[in-house]
Homo-oligomer: A and B are copies of this chain.
Amino acid sequence: MKLTRRDFSRLGAMSALSGALTLGAPAQAETPPGRKLRWCIVALGRISMGQFMPGLRLSKTGTITAIVSGHREKAEQQAALYHVSPKNIYNYENFDEIRHNEEIDAVYIALPNAMHAEFTIRAARAGKHVLCEKPMATTLADCRAMIEACRSNNVKLMIAYRCQYHPSHLRAIELIRSGAVGKVLAIESAFGFDIKPGEWRLNKRMAGGGPLVDVGIYALNASRYLTGESPGHIKANASVIDHDGRFTQVEENDGWTVEFPSGIVASCNTTYGGLMNGFFRVHATKGWIYMDGFNYSGMHLTALLASGKQIDQPDPIPSPGQFTLEADYFADCVWANREPKTGGDEGLRDMTAISRIYESAGLRLGV
Residues of A whose CB lies within 8 Å of any CB of B are: 182-183, 185-188, 190, 192, 194, 233, 235-242, 252-259, 262-271, 273-277, 279, 281, 283-288, 304, 360
Contacts and interface: CB of A to CB of B under 8 A. Distances in A.
Given A257-B235, A259-B255, A285 B273 contact: yes
The CB with the most chain B CB atoms within 10 A, among A186, A238, A288, A304, is that of: A186
B263 A286 contact: no
Given A253-B265, A276-B288, A277-B288, 12 more contacts: A183-B242, A185-B253, A185-B273, A186-B270, A194-B285, A235-B235, A235-B236, A237-B257, A255-B258, A255-B259, A257-B267, A267-B269
12 contacts: A185-B274, A186-B253, A186-B269, A188-B188, A188-B267, A190-B283, A233-B237, A235-B237, A239-B259, A253-B264, A274-B284, A275-B284
A263 B263 CA distance: 29
A270 B241 CA distance: 27
Contacts of A258: 237, 255
Contacts of A288: 274-277
Contact of A275 (B238, B259, B268, B283): B283
Contact of A255 (B239, B266, B274): B266
Contact of A186 (B185, B192, B259): B192
Nearest to A219: B267
A288 B262 CA distance: 33
A240 B219 CA distance: 23
Given A182-B274, A265-B237, A257 B256 contact: yes
A15 to B, nearest CB: 32
B268 A239 contact: no
A253 B263 contact: yes
Contacts of A273: 183, 185, 285
Contacts of A275: 283-284, 286-288, 304
Contacts of A267: 188, 190, 255-257, 267-269
A360 B276 contact: no
A13 B90 CA distance: 69
B271 A283 contact: yes
Given A237-B258, A265-B239, A186 B283 contact: no
